[in-house]
Amino acid sequence: MSDQKNTSDTRERILDIAERLFMDNGYEATSMRAITSAAEVNLAAVNYHFGSKEALLCEVFRRRLTWLNHQRLQALDKLEAQAAGAPLKPSQILEAFFGTLLRMGEDPSLGGMTFLRLLGRTLTEPAEFIRTFFAGEYAQVIDRYKRALFRALPDVPKAEIVWRLHFMLGAMSYAIAGTDVLQVVTGCEVGDLAGEGGCDDPADTVLARRLAERLMPFLLGGLRAPLPQFKQQEPSSKTV
Amino acid sequence: MSDQKNTSDTRERILDIAERLFMDNGYEATSMRAITSAAEVNLAAVNYHFGSKEALLCEVFRRRLTWLNHQRLQALDKLEAQAAGAPLKPSQILEAFFGTLLRMGEDPSLGGMTFLRLLGRTLTEPAEFIRTFFAGEYAQVIDRYKRALFRALPDVPKAEIVWRLHFMLGAMSYAIAGTDVLQVVTGCEVGDLAGEGGCDDPADTVLARRLAERLMPFLLGGLRAPLPQFKQQEPSSKTV
DNA sequence: CTAACATCAAAACGAACGTTTGAACGATGT
DNA sequence: ACATCGTTCAAACGTTCGTTTTGATGTTAG
């Protein structure tokens, strides 16, 4: 029973607990003492294994995001191989990008809805180290998907596509964050989106699936919406 | 020169500075000492005028949100009066709700983009007192607009409309937050969305207008997107 | 004039923060 | 057996946090 306890047990337990506490309270409002005591490890364990609180947050994301973005690139590779040079359909691209993410919400071993909520809530954090971390973690995948969308929508100005990708990311980010401060969704047939103190599994799996079913058509509708009337061409086009 | 300095000068200066610092750093990462020293007031001034740091944040929002939501209700009143009992067009409803907000970004006396960014970044904060505050501040306006959308889209299931309203709020929230951690928009022809350390006016006014021009068609396209195929009626069918 | 209010500087409050230290522990390899 | 290395531990480090207090100084209104 002391098989691989050596190098991974404490680390992994810290990451799991930190993931949940950062999601519940946010980064700044979650103390090292809260993390280490909830994980039943020594206070110094985080600094020993990760170096600092900032590095811990980055590692919480890295262990999920590298896998996720690898999957996203593979999904796009597969689609483009099947298309044999032809442009992809926008729905395929969105499915590869957002579907791959949302399916993580159904699998607790990939973080489940806890990680999705944490991701959605952290994407709007203003802290510098978070933004640079995400920028690096997402650079490649965003670039690939942007180019795929450019090819899929050759008649839409590229700047417009970039804007709409931004809007789609926002709708997704807010939806998976599940804070719902305005109580729009809470109380409907849907049930609560948050489920703050619960376990991992019970209704989160079905919630993730319902969310995907509703979000994907919305995003596709937004992406393909009629262009604003003021668009004739891109004027100076400094995007050489 | 001692005209109305009495009851408003210190209070207003604290609110202005707090609005900017909360936007730049987030609530938790902004200290009372940073606020009071930047506002050039005594450290005790915040507690004297507002009672606590939490109450200060609420007041920062209240002085803008009560006006905003009043305008939103008035805009809806006017539209419904003109329609004389007929259902409104979805585009009218979205214009009244989102247009009224986005136009605040063009007016520095209403907070400008600083307030819009702060709002977008705070809507996903998990802190309890923030969520209950927003819930109360938005309850009436959300209810009115939800009912207007129900009437405007009688063939769409109400639960679906609620979901899409949620998605629209997310896209708007993320867009006005302007964090853009994934660097989707940054570097394009658009210029930077954030402009962290700048003044109020220079490019924020035009940015707010461009944002509105792009966001509104996107939201409308998402709202009117085809329904997911699995909708015949709402079954109980919890997929046991 | 008086009383109430607003602002100030300065200091302190206890609490909580992230991080560091140095010793002890337990397995491993020679 | 001893030495080594990675890990864990209790305890303390210095700092910063939000808040309160005290007393003095204008300023305003009855």
Residues A87-92 have a mean pLDDT of 97
**Are residues A103 and A158 in contact, defined by beta-carbon separation less than 8 angstroms?**
no
Determine the pLDDT at residue A200: 54
Yes or no, beta carbons of B171 and A228 under 8 Å apart: no
Determine the pLDDT at residue B117: 95
Determine the pLDDT at residue A199: 54
Residue A31 zone, left/alpha/beta (φ > 0; ψ -120 to 50; rest): beta
* CB burial string A21-38: b at 16+ within 10 A, e below: bbbbbbbbbbebeebbeb
Q: Is the pLDDT of residue A187 over 90?
A: no
**Are residues A193 and A207 in contact, defined by beta-carbon separation less than 8 angstroms?**
yes
Show the domains of chain B with their CATH numbers. 62-223 (1.10.357.10)
The residue type found at B61 is F
Of A229, A207, A225, A205, nearest to A217 by C-alpha is: A225
- Within 7 A of a protein CB, which nucleotides of strand D? 6-12, 16-22, 27-29
Residues A173-196 have a mean pLDDT of 67
In B120-139, the residues whose Cβ lies within 8 Å of chain A are 120-121, 123-127, 130-131, 134-135, 138-139
- B160 contacts in A (CB within 8 Å)? 214
Q: Is the pLDDT of residue A136 over 60?
A: yes
Q: Which nucleotide is nearest to A11 (CA to C1')?
A: D7
**pLDDT per residue as tens digits for the range A210-219:** 999 999 999 9
Yes or no, beta carbons of B121 and A126 under 8 Å apart: yes
Least confident of A109-113, A195-199, B205-209: A195-199
Of A224, A223, A232, nearest to A164 by C-alpha is: A223
Q: What is the mean pLDDT of chain A?
A: 87
In B150-189, the residues whose Cβ lies within 8 Å of chain A are 158-160, 162-175, 177, 179-185, 188-189
Yes or no, beta carbons of A228 and B214 under 8 Å apart: yes
Q: Would you give per-residue pLDDT tens digits along chain B (240 residues)?
A: 333 344 558 899 999 999 999 999 999 999 999 999 999 999 999 999 999 999 999 999 999 999 999 999 999 999 999 999 999 999 999 999 999 999 999 999 999 999 999 999 999 999 999 999 999 999 999 999 999 999 999 999 999 999 999 999 999 999 999 877 677 776 554 444 544 445 555 678 888 899 999 999 999 999 999 997 654 444 444 443
**Residue B56: is it exposed, middle or buried by C-beta count within 10 angstroms (0-12/13-18/19+)?**
buried
- A189 contacts in B (CB within 8 Å)? 159, 234
- A168 contacts in B (CB within 8 Å)? 171
B11 vs A186, which has greater pLDDT? B11
Determine the pLDDT at residue B222: 98
- B175 contacts in A (CB within 8 Å)? 166-167, 170
**Residue A199 in contact with partner chain B when CB distance is under 8 A:** no
Q: Is the pLDDT of residue A205 over 90?
A: no
Q: Is the pLDDT of residue A103 over 70?
A: yes
Residues A190-217 have a mean pLDDT of 72
Q: Is the Cβ atom of B127 within 7 Å of strand D at any atom?
A: no
Determine the pLDDT at residue B58: 97
Determine the pLDDT at residue A232: 47
Residue A180 binned pLDDT confidence (cut-offs 50, 70, 90): confident
**Distances from the Cα of B15 to the Cα of B8, B20, B41, B61, angstroms:** 10, 9, 12, 9
Interface with A, mutate which of B161, B163, B188 (most A CBs under 10 A): B163
Determine the pLDDT at residue A2: 34
